[in-house]
Amino acid sequence: MAVSGYAVIVVAGRALDTVSYEAFSVFWGLFFALAGLIDGLLQETTRSVAARHTPSGRSLPAPASCARPMSVAVGFAVTIGLLAVACAPLWSGRILPDGENLEVPGVILLAVGLASYTFQAAVCGLLSAATRWTTFAWLISVDSAVRILLALLAWALGWHLLAFLLVTVIGAATWLGLLLLAPAQRDVLREVGDVTTGEFIRRTVKAMLASGANAVLITGFPVLITFTSGADVAPGALAAVITAVTLTRAPLLVPLQRFQPALIVHFTQHRDRILRACALPSAIIVGTAAFGGIAAYWLARPLMLVFFDAELVSSPPVLGLLTAASASTALLMVTGSAAHAAERHSLYLGGWAVATFTAVALLLIDVSPEARAVLALGLAPLAGVIVHLTVLAWRPTLIPPSPADSSGRTR
């Protein structure tokens, strides 16, 4: 996933002029930020369905009132698509360049892409809960491959910004391939959760708000820095810092974001010692980011100059600090997954909300865009980590009764 993101960004940097490239980067960030919000459905589907599976993989019985994630996805898809269209005046004119008549096509692509991604999120959640990791990985890989191939085609044929907007959203339809080409996997679509439909929707909305904050700090950061920089910033002026943020965060955060369901399953299986279960992934993240930051300081700029024009490449200190800063967000993803698995949905949301508000505050400081990015991405997520760990240490789990419990199952 991270490699495919690199490839598409590199191809876009070659195929588009600076203004169009910046518009593509922000549209890319907007789509994946909103897709990250929808990932709350993926995460709650994973938790809810996984909670009904025994360690041997057998599904426990559940009352008929329990939620069916694929049915719930229909309502979310329609709602999200309509909201994307309704909110278009707030973003389309700011993101898409004047004079190219791309506002209407851009809005349509975003709305349809997000509606389709809603179903993809539900399918990925069901596959994760059933631990069908091979099929899950296949789905994610095809999603990435489709984007790379279309980006290369657009570059070869000399297509412009509209083609790259299509490249951004096209992978969200990959779930249709599962229905058409993998009939043996269709049974997973009938799985149900461990709570009623109303409770499932309520928990999903909380998970969406938290995962949306997650996505703002990861893939949606170009949108955030664009809107906090003021309208007087010249077109293309933020292209270098946007490129630096996107590329330095991809190696650690994009794979972790895609496979966050595996973390949720891991913590669900270790809810009795949830803080101890955080230790190993956290240590791996800190070590990886430290090594990556040192490597980025020495190697990132020379490598980027091979693929990008000089005006799109930041200095070695900025590239090294941004790479190291990715550890902060990764740690927040780990503690957030632990809170979610412990059924502390309000805590999960609260930690990410604190991190996002702190990031916005740091982005409003009157310093260079590079300095604001380093401060926001390095410090803000740690505030959310402190919130998660403090509450989990005080009271690790808060597991309310559910319909599945009333059928005789004990947790």
Q: Is the pTM of this model over 0.75?
A: no
Condensed to tens digits (0 to 9), the pLDDT of residues 149-161 reads 999 999 998 888 9
Structure-token pair, residue 295: 């490597």
What is the average pLDDT value for the chain, to the nearest integer?
A: 85
CB of 17 within 8 A of CB of 100?
no
Residues 6+ apart with CB under 8 A from 147: 4, 8, 167, 168, 170, 171
Strand partners for 15:
none
Residues 6+ apart with CB under 8 A from 143: 1, 120, 171, 172, 174
CA distance 283 to 297: 22
Q: Map 124-149 to HEC letters.
A: HHHHHHCCCHHHHHHHHHHHHHHHHH
The DSSP string of 217-283 is: HTTTHHHHHHHTS-TTSPTTTTHHHHHHHHHHHHHHHHHHHHTHHHHHHHHHTTGGGHHHHHHHHHH
CA distance 178 to 161: 30
- Where are the chain's structural domains? 2-401
CA distance 215 to 387: 18
Give the pLDDT of the chain (411 residues) as one tens digit per residue: 556 777 888 899 889 888 888 888 888 888 988 898 899 999 899 988 888 765 544 555 556 678 899 999 999 999 999 999 999 888 887 777 665 678 889 999 999 999 999 999 999 999 988 888 888 888 888 888 889 999 999 999 888 899 999 999 998 998 988 777 777 778 888 889 888 999 999 999 988 987 887 777 877 787 788 888 866 666 667 888 888 988 888 778 877 877 788 888 888 888 778 888 899 999 999 999 999 999 999 999 999 998 888 888 999 999 999 999 999 999 999 999 899 888 888 898 899 999 999 999 999 998 888 999 999 999 999 999 999 999 998 876 555 444 444 343 333
CB of 72 within 8 A of CB of 204?
yes
**What does residue 147 show for φ and ψ, rounded to 5 degrees?**
-65, -45
First to last CA, the chain: 36
Structure-token pair, residue 177: 């391939």
Strand partners for 59:
53
